[in-house]
Amino acid sequence: FLSLTAEFCCGFFVILILGNFWFLGVLYLLWLYHDWDTPCTGGRRFQCIRNWTVWKYFREYFPIKLIKTSELSPKHNYLLGFHPHGVLVAGAFGNFCTGPNFKTLFPGITPYLHITPIWFRCPFFREYIMSAGMVSAAKESVSYVLNNDRGGHASIIVIGGAEESLNAHPGSLTLNILKRKGFIKMALKHGAHLVPVFSFGENELFKQVANPRGSRLRNIQERMQKIMGFALPLFHARGVFQYTFGLIPYRQPIHTIVGSPIPVKQNLNPTREEIDQLHELYLQKLNKLFEDHKRNYGIPEHRSLIFE
């Protein structure tokens, strides 16, 4: 979905440059040069766009629901780890970039959804995604959000990243997290409280072509992901008037559960042991969050999360 929209925006920009309105394209390039760092300095959100009626229908289509398990005090900053990535990351977008749900449940907290920096290089598209509250996932961007002395900021990071989207098969409970510790270090450096978030139903929206690890397709996908910065899962779902084939996601409920915060004391120079210790605690809290709620959302008792 993001790639299709980005391609349209880039195509429009090329037409603008090569057409009779080339001067508008040149003016936009000057603006882009001036505004290049904005995705790393808090972005530029517009509440009117976040409240578009179309997003209400988007959330109701699945439907998407945000569920609170604990209070988040606006006196602190938070780093929310979102799991799993899925193909669409619908739960993250629907809950943290659209509508009033987050503000209603967590008053005084401003959410920032961090996404792959490459999306902010697309002309016009970057303006659209920033208006919804998305910012770059670069380290300096996360630091900017969390470096707020007054508190009340929440960085939402999809921990598994693009690589995890290749595991987004219906029923999959595999998370790419064992080697991902940069978010732990960032939380320690800024004293941001860690909050695990699990989105039930995220992997049920599409069917993906079989790509087990070690397969030829998976190897190609992983190579392409390293080159381009984003993954290319081969997926399909339903069409507009039929349920056999298409790119419209299936209507499967998405319940995004926000767990309890893990208090983190600021440590500007954490050791590897301190990072590993907090990472292990985070895994325990994430697993407990899943186990406490899985039976409410159709996960069999014998199924558990798999950390890779």
Domain range enclosing 20: 1-36
**279 and 156 in one domain?**
yes
Mean pLDDT in residue range 57-70: 97
Mean pLDDT in residue range 153-168: 94
**At a CB cut-off of 8 Å and minimum separation 6, what does 141 contact?**
39, 40, 41, 114, 117, 135
* Confidence (pLDDT) at 29: 86
> Tens digit of pLDDT for each residue in 18-36?
676 777 778 888 988 999 9
**54 and 21 in one domain?**
no
**196 and 76 in one domain?**
yes
**At a CB cut-off of 8 Å and minimum separation 6, what does 45 contact?**
130, 131, 132, 133
Residue 5 has pLDDT above 70, yes or no: no
> Tens digit of pLDDT for each residue in 84-93?
999 989 999 9
Tell me the two tokens of residue 18. 């090569």
Residue 115 has pLDDT above 90, yes or no: yes
For 101-120, letters b (16+ CB in 10 Å) and e give bbeeebeebbbbbbbbeebb
Question: With pLDDT > 70 as the criterion, what percentage of the chain qualifies?
Answer: 94
Residue 248 — φ and ψ, nearest 5°? -80, 130
The CATH number of the domain holding residue 217 is 3.40.1130
Identify whether the C-beta of residue 39 lies closer than 8 Å to the C-beta of residue 24.
Answer: no
* Confidence (pLDDT) at 7: 53
Q: How many residues does the chain have?
A: 308
Residue 124 has pLDDT above 80, yes or no: yes
Residue 9 has pLDDT above 80, yes or no: no
**256 and 286 in one domain?**
yes
> Does 253 or 8 have the greater pLDDT score?
253
Mean pLDDT value across the chain = 92
Q: Is the pTM of this model over 0.85?
A: yes
Mean pLDDT in residue range 129-143: 96
**133 and 12 in one domain?**
no
**179 and 146 in one domain?**
yes
Mean pLDDT in residue range 68-87: 97
**110 and 28 in one domain?**
no
Q: Distance between alpha carbon 122 and the CA centroid of its chain, in Å?
A: 18
* Confidence (pLDDT) at 38: 97
* Confidence (pLDDT) at 16: 66
**99 and 21 in one domain?**
no
**173 and 97 in one domain?**
yes
> Tens digit of pLDDT for each residue in 255-290?
999 999 999 999 999 999 999 999 999 999 999 999
* Confidence (pLDDT) at 241: 84
Which residue type is seen at 137?
A: A
Domain count, the chain: 2
Residue 145 has pLDDT above 70, yes or no: yes
**163 and 133 in one domain?**
yes
> Tens digit of pLDDT for each residue in 197-235?
999 999 999 999 999 999 999 999 998 888 877 788 899
67, 79, 112: which is closest to 181 by C-alpha? 79
**199 and 100 in one domain?**
yes
**25 and 139 in one domain?**
no
